[in-house]
């Protein structure tokens, strides 16, 4: 992922996940900190205390993205051949769901790999993730179908939630 696209992904994730310097429980009850950092999967380094500094939050996010990208490279090596917007959709979903969760989107992923982006978006919309995730999912579906990431949700996508 090129540096500009990575910066856009980081901005997307900060908006979608939020930024917290102290622990909280996410919607699934998982103890979390920073930008969606799952503490049960990856505890904080020894000696870190709350509230985290901005530098520590950024360090966790960088590590989490590196781990996500490495897992995507292993499971979906073609994801890096996508245009920048669709790379961000895949990475955002993987960050949100975990790569294992993303891999359950077999119809959508097959369609993405074939370049059938409308079919991929429709498959994404036909999921519990879409119904549970709200505007984030709506924006990502629109971006997958149209290749443009918007900051607002087009009405047709919002009405399908």
Residue 25 carries which DSSP code?
A: E
Burial class (CB in 10 A: 0-12, 13-18, 19+), 79: buried
Distance CA 51, CA 33 (A): 10
Whole domain around residue 159: which residue ranges?
105-161
Residues 122 and 76 reside in one and the same domain = no
In a domain, 13, yes or no: yes
- For residue 156, what pLDDT is reported? 62
Does the structure show a pLDDT above 60 at 160?
no
Residues 72 and 26 reside in one and the same domain = yes
Residues 109 and 75 reside in one and the same domain = no
Distance CA 88, CA 122 (A): 18
Residues 72 and 22 reside in one and the same domain = yes
- For residue 45, what pLDDT is reported? 94
Residue at a domain's end among 82, 97, 129:
82
State the total domains in the chain. 2
Mean of the pLDDT values across residues 99-126? 98
In a domain, 134, yes or no: yes
In a domain, 7, yes or no: yes
Confidence tier at 158 by pLDDT (50, 70, 90)? low
- For residue 13, what pLDDT is reported? 97
- For residue 124, what pLDDT is reported? 97
Does the structure show a pLDDT above 80 at 81?
yes
| 149, 64, 26, 100 alpha-carbon torsion, rounded to 10° | 80
Q: For the whole model, what pTM was predicted?
A: 0.92
Residues 76 and 131 reside in one and the same domain = no
Q: Please tell me whether the peptide bond between 35 and the residue prior to it is cis, using omega within 30 degrees of 0.
A: no
In a domain, 133, yes or no: yes
In a domain, 32, yes or no: yes
In a domain, 95, yes or no: no
The tens digit of pLDDT for each residue in 20-77 reads 999 999 888 999 999 999 999 999 999 999 999 999 999 999 999 999 999 999 999 9
Residue at a domain's end among 24, 48, 82:
82
Which two three-digit tokens encode residue 137?
């999912």
């Amino acid at each position: 992922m090129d540096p500009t696209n990575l910066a856009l992904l980081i901005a997307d994730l900060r908006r979608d996940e939020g930024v917290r310097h102290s622990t909280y429980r996410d919607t699934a009850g998982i103890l979390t900190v920073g930008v969606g950092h799952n503490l049960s999967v990856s505890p904080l380094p020894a000696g870190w205390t709350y509230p985290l500094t901005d530098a520590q939050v950024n360090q966790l996010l960088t590590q989490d993205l590196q781990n996500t990208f490495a897992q995507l490279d292993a499971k979906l090596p073609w994801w890096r051949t996508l245009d920048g917007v669709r790379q961000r959709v895949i990475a955002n979903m993987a960050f949100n769901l975990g790569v294992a969760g993303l891999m359950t989107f077999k119809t959508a992923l097959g369609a993405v790999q074939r370049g059938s982006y409308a079919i991929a978006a429709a498959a994404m919309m036909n999921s519990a993730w879409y119904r549970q995730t709200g505007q984030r999912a709506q924006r990502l579906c629109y971006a997958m179908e149209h290749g443009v990431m918007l900051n607002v949700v087009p009405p047709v996508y919002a009405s399908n939630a």
